[in-house]
Amino acid sequence: ALVALRIRPMSAAELAEGARPIAHRLDEQVVVLRDPLADPDDVLRASRSQQKSYSFDVAFDATATQETVYRATTQSLVTVVISGSNATVFAYGPTGCGKTYTMLGTDGEPGLCARTLGELFQAIEDASGDVEYEVSMSYLEIYNEMIRDLLNPSLGRLQLREDAGGTVQVTGITQIPATSADEVMQLLARGNRQRTQEPTAANRTSSRSHAVLQVTVRRQQRGGGLRHGRLFMIDLAGSERAAQTRNRGQRMKEGAHINRSLLALGNCIKALSHRASSKYINYRDSKLTRLLKDSLGGNSHTVMIAHISPASTAFAESRSTLAYAHRAKSIRTTVRQDPLSVAANLHGEIRHLKGQGDTELGRPGQGKHRDIPYTQAQVRLRGARREPVGARQELAGVRREQVALSHLLLQPQGTALPAQHLLALTLYVSRGQQWSEEEQGEPVGHSDSEGDSDTGDKRLEVPEPPNVAIAHKSITVVAQKQDRLRQQKAELSRHFRQRQQHPRRLEEALRPRSISEEQRELLALLRCLHRPELEMPEPCSHTLLEGGLRHPPSVTAQRFDHHRALCARIIRQQQQLIVDHRLSVPRPLEELYETYLRELAGDPGDTGTLKVAHTLSPTQGMSLPKILPVRGAETPLEWDSGQARSCDHPTPCHDSLPPLRPTRDRYGWAPTTPHTHGTAEGCPLPSSAPTPRVQEDPTGTAGGAVPVALGRRAGWGGPHQLPLASCAHWQVVSALRCVPPLHITVPPQITVPADPFPSSRRPPGAPCAAELLRAHRAGGGAGTQHPRTPQSAARSKATPPASCQVSPHLGTGCRDHRSPVPHAPSPGVGVPSRPLPLQLPTTPRKGQHPRRGCVTGNGARASGKDDGVTGAEPSWRGAGPCAKPAG
């Protein structure tokens, strides 16, 4: 939509009443309105702007001629209409500001209607013989919300109807065929005589109705389709304020109707200018908006010319008109036009200008068409007619070739995208490694060097899991293909650049020849026109490429990240447990862990070791990368068959290591059942999943067994204990570490005697549990003697080894060493005394890491808080789950 503003000259009446001009055109687009009441001496309002500027697509002042206004606003609509689209021009403004003058004009200065129709018929005349046009017109007014046929007023009140195609039509209106502009103007003059005009205080011949001239162009392409273009030219009734017009009675009623329909029009404009295109637009509030439905927001080009008076006496009207028009500036219409009609537009323009061009050729900058775009178009089209045929053909050939090349250039990049995605995934892996290092607090490269020095050639040659191998192969294949495509692209680009030079060379070759300035300009124009299209493939391919790199399949990436984080946490925590327990692990396992650390550090040369297997299933593209366990006898580490089957449970396991806490009994201690491993953290072991074998404590001292996965491996230095998280976690860890589940035996447990005496009955001098513990620590465990009750003596056999260290920060001991008996319990309240399981390796093994910390009977590292330590069944003998207070 184009919005223009026209300021008419001061009228004699305004000058007579001493009005000052307050509206000025600042430049081609900006109009300034000054508040006449603003007092320049008012210091309180000095900071407030006394004038406001409004910008439009084009602005005219009193000096603008009808011709200028026509050229800048309406002329372009001619080609729109003859090509089968709709166009609307409406004049808006307060009464007496020049709307009718602009639309109809005078005999000496014809208005937009006459000029537009003149050119329309001219364009039709110039059209090729392939297209037949028929023009018909109707002229109506909307007065007090009634539609009246101005060409046949006897028809009375007419109604609006929507036809089958959704187009709003006035039923029964007279459609008069027209063959020339003169004919139409005569009809218009006849209609205007019928128009409702009444003298008002503001205008002696005030139009009290909206006059709508509708010109329909029926376009029939020979052997082609039929199209209708409609041009609405509307002289709106003047917006007015009752106070200003001093209207009474019928005039006031008219004014109310006028204002209501203009308000409805304003609302539609506001809604159309709203950013949210889905906003409902209510056209039904007035006849005017219903009639203009297709012309405002639909398939139409819209031009609005707002009119104001420059006089200070019209300040309020001018201000509201400027605001109204400014709002309309943001109307965005969606013109639905097929390519054929675009071509027809251009043809029409060519023919139209052809007729005019001859008379003005050789006089650039002269004549009535002085505006730059017009002159440029003239130059282009005139040049088009006269350019050397050979050059034109050559240009066309070059253009075709360049378009083909640009398509070819796009192609390779498009096919390279899968490879880019794979590479992006690889990038993700390296980012993940970096992330792991950062989370471990290790500087980048630390693990790398450490791994190298530690392992050297002693790395394990673990075969890649099949999925990883497939992924590597496919990456290699795609990368090779991409290389080939890159070479092709380079070749094509070179060719493309050569061809780009061609028009320039052609232009230079033509320059010395006797071609006119216009023809040279045409060539330059054509070259410029083609350039954006030719340059498009490069940014386009870059966009595709970057889009692929920056936005890899997000779901896959997220799941991959999630999975990787989960595995890393499991491995770290399990390693921590191994270290905390000082469990001796077989050398192959240690090497595997070192390998894993090197992998995290991104050791590029470590190709034979385990890699995080991430493959995209070709069919399921976005599926979670699978981590497969290495199976088969050829692997150095034997698998205990059935241990690493996949977990089919639909509920995803938690991404953190689940607390190794079996279901507790009513005393808060873990039962002896081995099945608890599967129920930890709500991830029950599916029936299909293998149940890890649990080896009972061979010594019989352990009251239960920690759920562990069992396996056999000769020469691993005996039984080891590893907590089992859940089947899925275990599989992940197993697959990542390429080690079979360990064969674990729960070592004997050691109990700390319960407090033999509740505080209320403790004999003088008898120690409490905490004191016992301190004594126990001080005495090195085994050799410590402390008072015992007969019960405790009977049930406590094992003694803690010297290696048991209680963290000092835990006060009387870590959670498991702390006496469950409070020092000063409430009198009479018996607190059960519980022996606490201490499960320690009795002898440090070779290769063990000397670690601090205290371990519990379930193999977890003791800490001040309950960090998910598994509670193995306490194994004190002869004692019930709850030691009753003595006495």
Output 204 or 473, the one with its CB closest to ligand ATP.
Answer: 204
On whether the CB atoms of residues 310 and 62 are closer than 8 A, the answer is yes
On whether the CB atoms of residues 365 and 375 are closer than 8 A, the answer is yes
| Rounded Cα distance, 370 and 26, in Å | 20
Residue span binding ligand ATP (CB under 6 A) among the ranges 164-172, 203-211, 541-549, 600-608? 203-211
Out of 73, 88, 100, 609, which residue is the one contacting ligand ATP (CB under 6 A)?
100
Out of 152, 206, 312, 745, which residue is the one contacting ligand ATP (CB under 6 A)?
206
Residue whose pair of structure tokens reads 């870590």 in the numeric block: 814
Output 86 or 245, the one with its CB closest to ligand ATP.
Answer: 245
177, 176, 139, 178: which is closest to 158 by C-alpha? 139
Cα–Cα–Cα angle for 501, 502, 503, nearest 5°? 100
Output 260 or 559, the one with its CB closest to ligand ATP.
Answer: 260
Instruction: Tell me how far apart the 2 most distant CA atoms of the chain are, in Å.
Output: 130
Site for ligand ATP in 512-551 (CB under 6 A): none
Is 717 annotated to bind ligand?
no
On whether the CB atoms of residues 756 and 787 are closer than 8 A, the answer is yes
Is 98 annotated to bind ligand?
yes
Is 253 annotated to bind ligand?
no
On whether the CB atoms of residues 85 and 216 are closer than 8 A, the answer is no
Output 107 or 461, the one with its CB closest to ligand ATP.
Answer: 107
| 292: CB partners within 8 A, 6+ apart | 88, 90, 232, 234, 265, 268, 283
CB of 211 to ligand ATP, least distance (A): 9
Residue span binding ligand ATP (CB under 6 A) among the ranges 3-11, 181-189, 503-511, 709-717? 3-11
Site for ligand ATP in 755-774 (CB under 6 A): none
Output 101 or 560, the one with its CB closest to ligand ATP.
Answer: 101
Tokens for 693, please give them: 């074998």
Site for ligand ATP in 278-307 (CB under 6 A): 307
Is 99 annotated to bind ligand?
yes
| Rounded Cα distance, 574 and 227, in Å | 77
Query: Does position 9 bind ligand ATP by CB under 6 A?
Result: yes
CB of 283 to ligand ATP, least distance (A): 23
- Interstrand relation of 146-149 and 157-158 (parallel, antiparallel or unpaired): antiparallel
Strand partners, 91: 235, 305
Per-residue binding string, ligand ATP, 611-640, x by CB under 6 A, is: ------------------------------
Query: Does position 324 bind ligand ATP by CB under 6 A?
Result: no
Region of residue 134 (phi > 0: left; psi between -120 and 50: alpha; otherwise: beta): beta
Output 98 or 703, the one with its CB closest to ligand ATP.
Answer: 98
| Rounded Cα distance, 869 and 678, in Å | 15
Is 93 annotated to bind ligand?
yes
Residue whose pair of structure tokens reads 């808080």 in the numeric block: 865
Out of 97, 653, 728, 732, which residue is the one contacting ligand ATP (CB under 6 A)?
97
Residue span binding ligand ATP (CB under 6 A) among the ranges 76-84, 97-105, 247-255, 556-564? 97-105
Out of 71, 99, 251, 257, which residue is the one contacting ligand ATP (CB under 6 A)?
99
Out of 21, 84, 93, 412, which residue is the one contacting ligand ATP (CB under 6 A)?
93
Residue span binding ligand ATP (CB under 6 A) among the ranges 98-106, 326-334, 691-699, 848-856? 98-106
| Rounded Cα distance, 659 and 681, in Å | 7
Query: Does position 101 bind ligand ATP by CB under 6 A?
Result: yes
Output 14 or 603, the one with its CB closest to ligand ATP.
Answer: 14
Out of 1, 3, 8, 227, which residue is the one contacting ligand ATP (CB under 6 A)?
8
DSSP 809-877: GGTT-STTTS-SS-SSPPTT----B--EEE---SSPPTTPPP--S-B-TTSPBP-SS--S---PPP--S
Is 882 annotated to bind ligand?
no
Residue span binding ligand ATP (CB under 6 A) among the ranges 8-16, 409-417, 459-467, 841-849? 8-16
Tokens for 140, please give them: 């109506």
CB of 322 to ligand ATP, least distance (A): 15
Output 13 or 766, the one with its CB closest to ligand ATP.
Answer: 13
| Rounded Cα distance, 685 and 663, in Å | 14
Region of residue 244 (phi > 0: left; psi between -120 and 50: alpha; otherwise: beta): alpha
Output 105 or 548, the one with its CB closest to ligand ATP.
Answer: 105
Tokens for 97, please give them: 């500001």
What DSSP designation does 632 have? S
Residues 866, 872, 876, 882, CA torsion sign: positive
Helix (H, G, I), strand (E, B) or coil at 681: helix
Q: What long-range pairs does 378-382 form, CB within 8 A, spacing at least 24?
A: 378/353, 379/518, 379/521, 379/522, 379/525, 380/521, 380/522, 380/525, 381/349, 381/350, 381/353, 381/354, 381/357, 382/353, 382/357, 382/518
Residue span binding ligand ATP (CB under 6 A) among the ranges 199-207, 268-276, 392-400, 858-866? 199-207
CB of 11 to ligand ATP, least distance (A): 6
Out of 96, 552, 748, 841, which residue is the one contacting ligand ATP (CB under 6 A)?
96
Site for ligand ATP in 335-374 (CB under 6 A): none
Residue span binding ligand ATP (CB under 6 A) among the ranges 90-98, 586-594, 686-694, 823-831? 90-98
Site for ligand ATP in 232-261 (CB under 6 A): 237-238
Query: Does position 105 bind ligand ATP by CB under 6 A?
Result: no
Strand partners, 305: 4, 91
Query: Does position 152 bind ligand ATP by CB under 6 A?
Result: no
Using CB under 6 A, count the residues that bind ligand ATP: 17
CB of 253 to ligand ATP, least distance (A): 16
| Rounded Cα distance, 780 and 526, in Å | 97
Residue span binding ligand ATP (CB under 6 A) among the ranges 91-99, 210-218, 319-327, 340-348? 91-99
Out of 76, 116, 138, 203, which residue is the one contacting ligand ATP (CB under 6 A)?
203
CB of 311 to ligand ATP, least distance (A): 12
Helix (H, G, I), strand (E, B) or coil at 306: strand
Output 11 or 799, the one with its CB closest to ligand ATP.
Answer: 11
Output 14 or 464, the one with its CB closest to ligand ATP.
Answer: 14
Output 314 or 468, the one with its CB closest to ligand ATP.
Answer: 314
CB of 239 to ligand ATP, least distance (A): 8
Is 238 annotated to bind ligand?
no
Which class for 784: exposed (0-12), middle (13-18), buried (19 or more C-beta within 10 A)? Answer: middle
> What length is written for the chain?
887
CB of 411 to ligand ATP, least distance (A): 59
Out of 73, 74, 85, 95, which residue is the one contacting ligand ATP (CB under 6 A)?
95
Output 237 or 694, the one with its CB closest to ligand ATP.
Answer: 237
Alpha-helical segments (H) within 45-198: 66-73, 77-82, 99-103, 112-126, 181-194
Output 8 or 737, the one with its CB closest to ligand ATP.
Answer: 8
b/e burial code for range 406-439 (CB count within 10 A of at least 16 → b): bebbbbbbeebbbbbbbbbbeebbeebbebbbee
Is 94 annotated to bind ligand?
yes
Can you say which residues are annotated as belonging to the binding site? 93-100
Can you say which residues are annotated as belonging to the binding site for ATP? 93-100
Residues of this chain that bind ligand ATP (CB under 6 A): 8-9, 11, 93, 95-101, 203, 206-207, 237-238, 307
